[in-house]
Amino acid sequence: MPELPEVETLRRTLARHLPGRQVRRVDVMRPGQIRHPDPETFRTAVTGRTFGDPQRRGKYLLLPLGGDRTLVCHLRMSGRLYVVSPEVPRATHTHVLFGLDDGTELRYEDQRTFGGFHLVGPGDEGAPEGLRTLGPEPLDPAWDPGRLAGALRGRRAPVKAVLLDQRAVAGLGNIYADEALFRAGIHPARPAGDLAGAEVVRLHRAVREVLADAIARRGTTFSLYLDGEARPGEFYSELRVYDREGEPCRRCGSPIAKIRVGGRGTHFCPRCQA
Q: Closest CB to DNA among 100 and 168?
A: 168
Confirm or reject binding of residue 157 to DNA (CB under 7 A). Answer: yes
Q: Which of 38, 123, 129, 197 binds DNA (CB under 7 A)?
A: 129
Q: Can 109 be counted among the known catalytic residues?
A: no
Is-contact 9 227, C-beta < 8 A? yes
Q: Counting Cβ atoms within 10 Å, is residue 195 exposed (0-12), middle (13-18) or buried (19+)?
A: buried
Q: Which of 39, 99, 138, 173 binds DNA (CB under 7 A)?
A: 173
Name residues contacting DNA, limited to 92-111 (CB under 7 A): 92-93, 111
Does a cis peptide bond (omega within 30 degrees of 0) precede residue 37?
Answer: yes
Cα separation, 25 vs 47, whole angstroms: 6
Site string for DNA, 2-41 (x = CB under 7 A): -x--------------------------------------
Q: Closest CB to DNA among 104 and 113?
A: 113
Collapsing DSSP states into helix, strand and coil, what is residue 212?
helix
Name residues contacting DNA, limited to 195-214 (CB under 7 A): none
Cα separation, 264 vs 186, whole angstroms: 17
Q: Can 129 be counted among the known catalytic residues?
A: no
Confirm or reject binding of residue 79 to DNA (CB under 7 A). Answer: no
- Choose one: 18-26, 140-148, 233-241, 260-268; the region binding DNA (CB under 7 A): 260-268
Burial track 217-243 (b if 16+ CB lie within 10 A, e otherwise) = ebbbbbebbbbbebeebebbeebbbbb
DSSP H helical segments within 153-231, as ranges?
Answer: 159-164, 174-184, 197-216
Q: Which of 59, 95, 204, 244 binds DNA (CB under 7 A)?
A: 59
Q: Can 247 be counted among the known catalytic residues?
A: no
Q: Which of 11, 49, 56, 59 is flagged as catalytic? A: 59
Residue 146's H or E segment, with its range, is: helix 145-152
Side-chain-facing half-sphere of 196: CA atoms under 13 Å? 6
Q: Which of 40, 114, 125, 251 binds DNA (CB under 7 A)?
A: 114
Cα separation, 14 vs 227, whole angstroms: 8
- Choose one: 16-24, 42-50, 100-108, 125-133; the region binding DNA (CB under 7 A): 125-133
Q: So which residues are the catalytic ones?
A: 2-3, 59, 264
Q: For binding to DNA (CB under 7 A), which residues are involved?
A: 1, 3, 58-59, 74, 76-78, 92-93, 111-114, 128-130, 155-158, 161, 164, 166, 173-175, 192, 258, 262-265
